[in-house]
Amino acid sequence: MQHILKNIAIFSLLILALLGCQKTKVDPVTGKKIRFEPNTDKRAEKAVIEEGFILGGGKQVDNFATKNILWRASLETLDFVPLNSANYAGGMIISDWYSKANSNESVKIEVRFFSKEISLNSFEIKNYKKICKNQDRNCSITQGSEKLNKSIKNKILVKARELKIREVQKK
């Protein structure tokens, strides 16, 4: 009996190991099956071609992030605010605090990307509001308005569609 249980355990472990070696994975964002390329050189080359990544070892692409229309649309839409961080690989754009002249209120905008598809679920906007009573002293920071988040998101989507139309017309 012990021998049979031992064989079942070994067989189960082998099945689990084989299932983990499958060449297709599921994209956690879209739920679509994607083919996994075990060769790292081929994966890197594919990333350079499709995503515009700049990699070491002499593989460099001049059009960094230009193939991602949603990224470009976000940068163009947020061109009125100074950026604190724009990390394509990390999928985030964070503005610096922005305020109009002689105002004690500032806004910080954050864009988080989940996918490069042009859709509502591909990215998220968050904004934060800072109110200072004495020029950068006694400041309080709160979550900004959902209305502003939706407005920025809609502007980015409109800009992305415009860029996509221009791209298709060029071809």
For residues 49-58, give the mean pLDDT: 49
pLDDT in tens, 76-119: 999 999 999 998 888 899 999 999 887 889 999 999 999 888 88
- The whole-chain average pLDDT of the chain stands at 79
**pLDDT value for 56:** 47
**Tokens 């994209």 appear where?**
27
**pLDDT value for 59:** 46
pLDDT band at 51 (very low <50, low <70, confident <90, very high): low
Least confident of 7-11, 86-90, 145-149: 7-11
Distances in Å between the Cα of 113 and the Cα atoms of 2, 23, 43, 74 are: 52, 26, 21, 10
Residue boundaries of the structural domains of the chain? 23-64, 69-170
